[in-house]
């Protein structure tokens, strides 16, 4: 698992990461971060202050359609320093330079979505957008109008930066979306999974390095996020 995760980091972010050696992630600009110890932790601890190793603790499922088990949220833990090294800090003035517009479904929508141009995010999202645009018209209701890309904000109910704050996430249309907080679950109560987003859409995003929030126990079915390291690690670990 550790070896696959380290290999996946180097494969996923060649622009930013030079190598992982002796449990240290070496960035091309000379910065370094500890990969971390990982191991058994509560879901809360993993989300609150994840080491890089913790981000791989729950493998991302490559198959689509299973209902996520309790607290299975692959990709929801983000090491803030790691993502700041990759994309910058949106609370700083020069962050805007890293953003670029991607035209969402050029034929069927044409709305512009702001995302990072670093680590190939914008190019990959443009490729996703073109492929989604070629899906049958019945799919457009799930995709447009999109609910947005870059947004410098913490995740609702937390002080942790959202994937949107790094410019790596996009929300498709809200019309058929489900989000675990919307039914206002009582603290500690089991969540009832809901999803209406067709598999074809998920497959196209995943092909280009985006994971889907519909594979989280804390589901967010309109949310897609550029996390190629999780998809690569999952493929490396396939039997
Ligand atoms: Zn989102």
Widest CA span of the chain, in angstroms?
A: 50
Helices within 134-198 (DSSP H only) = 140-143
14: exposed, middle or buried (Cβ count in 10 Å: 0-12, 13-18, 19+) = exposed
Helix/strand/coil percentages in the chain, nearest 5: 35, 15, 50
Alpha carbon of 223 to ligand 1 centroid (Å): 4
- ∠ at Cα 57 (192, 51), nearest 5°? 115
Q: For 31-55, what is each residue's pLDDT tens digit?
A: 999 999 998 999 999 999 999 999 9
Q: Which residues neighbour ligand 1 (ion) by CB within 5 Å?
A: 169, 171, 223
Span from the CA of 222 to the centroid of ligand 1 (angstroms):
7
What is the full DSSP assignment across 52-84? TGGGGSSPPPSSSSPPPPTT--TT----HHHHH
Please tell me the distance between residue 11's alpha carbon and the centre of ligand 1 in angstroms: 25
- Burial environment of residue 6 by CB neighbours within 10 A (0 to 12, 13 to 18, 19 or more): buried
pLDDT tens for 4-33 read 999 999 999 999 999 999 999 999 999 999
CA of 77 to the centre of ligand 1 (A): 14
Q: What six digits make up the tokens of 107?
A: 């034929």
Residues 55-96 have pLDDT tens digits of: 999 999 999 999 999 999 999 999 999 999 999 999 999 999
The yes-or-no verdict on residue 122 having pLDDT over 90 is yes
Residues sharing a CB contact under 8 Å with residue 1, sequence separation 6 or more, in sequence order:
56, 237
pLDDT at 158: 82
Task: Give the pLDDT band (50/70/90) at residue 128.
Answer: very high
* Ligand 1 midpoint to CA 170 (Å): 6
Nearest C-alpha neighbor of 208 from the set 105, 128, 104: 128
């Amino acid at each position: 698992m550790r070896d696959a995760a380290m290999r996946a980091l180097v494969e996923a972010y060649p622009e930013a990461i030079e190598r992982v050696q002796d449990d240290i992630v070496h960035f091309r600009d000379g910065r370094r971060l500890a990969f971390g110890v990982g191991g058994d932790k509560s879901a809360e601890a993993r989300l609150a202050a994840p080491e890089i190793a913790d981000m791989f603790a729950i493998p991302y499922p490559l198959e689509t359609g299973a209902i996520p088990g309790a607290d299975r949220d692959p990709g929801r833990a983000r090491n803030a320093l790691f993502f700041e090294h990759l994309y910058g800090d949106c609370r700083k003035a020069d962050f805007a330079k890293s953003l670029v517009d991607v035209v969402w479904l050029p034929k069927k929508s044409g709305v512009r979505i702001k995302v990072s141009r670093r680590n190939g995010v914008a190019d990959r999202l443009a490729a996703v957008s073109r492929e989604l645009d070629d899906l049958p018209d019945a799919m457009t209701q799930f995709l447009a109008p999109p609910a947005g890309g870059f947004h410098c904000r913490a995740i609702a109910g937390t002080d942790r930066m959202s994937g949107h704050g790094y410019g790596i996430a996009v929300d498709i249309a809200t019309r058929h979306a489900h989000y675990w907080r919307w039914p206002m679950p009582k603290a500690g109560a089991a969540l009832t999974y809901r999803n209406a987003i067709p598999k074809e859409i998920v497959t196209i995003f995943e092909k280009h390095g985006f994971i889907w929030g519909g594979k989280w126990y804390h589901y967010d079915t309109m949310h897609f996020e550029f996390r190629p390291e999780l998809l690569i690690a999952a493929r490396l670990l396939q039997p």
